[in-house]
Amino acid sequence: MKKSRLLISAISIFIVMASALSSCATISKQIEKLAPKEIERNAFTGMPGSNGPVLAVKIDDTNAAHPQVGLEFADVIYIEQVEAGLTRLLAIYSSKIPKDIGPIRSLRISDIDLLAQYGRVGLAYSGAQSKMRPVIAAANIEDLGAERNSPTIYYRDPNRSAPTNMILNSAPLMAKAKNLGSAKNMGWQFGKKPAGGQVISAVKISWPNANYGATWSESQSRWLLSHNNSADLSASGTQLGSPTLVIQLVKISPSIYGDKFGGVTPMSETVGTGPGYVLRDSEVFRATWNRTSAETGTTWLLEDGSELPFTPGQIWIALTDKEPDFTYLTPKSPSASPATTK
């Protein structure tokens, strides 16, 4: 009888403990459901979104190429100088890759250094001169160019004229891509606007035969772009622009490469250090950019040495060697500094 009572007591204790553990597990699950889950943010933009494989696309930027297709979905867009003082774009996609992108054009030597900081990327472009092909092959790039893919992937838009009518059909291209790196921290940070900026209403950025303008839109909380003095509209009708507009002053010099018309290809040096400007929240901040090697990202520092955070969202980066022209709403402008690198 005594053994039976002990057995019953042990069973009772076990039941109570099991019940308590079960209750704790239930409470833990309920707390887990109530607790806010960490939101994934794209490393390039700081916005909620995935850090998917990286696709870089070379896009024409002449007047005939406008309106461009799919730029409003890019995470980062570089404006760089090419032959004859014109500009061409390098668009970086990760959080969202639209179906159609273009018009697609050929690669330039400045792109190789720019892309090195992104890790292994897929590169979409129309072609490159033969002298550059060994450089492309040696780079940490998966070559997804038009010369390696069918006309169903790089197709011609019948409503556009050559050479500004090649459009990328991205879905089948990305289905073929292998071993691409994902979006990662690029050096710049995101956060609240720091003190010390100056209020501006507009800016003009120039190259020898092209210009971009930007005006601040309070209602949209972003800089609205113009290209060669006309509103910069996408093919969807959206005016292009971004919450953060970066003007990176770089050294631009002739390279050993050129186009088929005999024009010399300029090289924009983005490894090193130099002055620049970051525009956000209707203000401009004079800053210093630093990139210690081709494989490392680019950081932006205020004049006191502290980090200059960007506003989350798409980023446009203009690479130029000319000081921009700001329209200030405050009496004193930042002191100018010559474009230097290294």
Q: Read out DSSP for 285-304?
A: EEEEEEE-STTS--EEE-TT
| Whole-number Å distance between alpha carbons of 159 and 157 | 5
Residue pair 93/54 in contact by the 8 Å Cβ criterion? yes
Sequence-ordered list of residues with C-beta below 8 angstroms from that of 275, at least 6 positions apart, any chain: 249, 286, 287, 288, 289, 337, 338, 339, 340
Judged against a pLDDT cut of 70, whether residue 22 lies above it is answered with no
Residue pair 143/83 in contact by the 8 Å Cβ criterion? no
pLDDT of 331: 59
pLDDT tens across 229-241, in order? 999 999 999 999 9
Judged against a pLDDT cut of 80, whether residue 15 lies above it is answered with no
Residue pair 101/57 in contact by the 8 Å Cβ criterion? yes
Q: Where in the chain is the domain with CATH 3.50.90.10?
A: 55-176, 198-328
pLDDT tens across 45-100, in order? 999 988 999 999 999 999 999 999 999 999 999 999 999 999 999 999 999 999 99
The yes or no reply on domain 198-328 and CATH 3.40.1190.10 is no
The yes or no reply on domain 55-176 and CATH 3.50.90.10 is yes
**Confidence grade of residue 336 (pLDDT, cut at 50, 70, 90):** very low
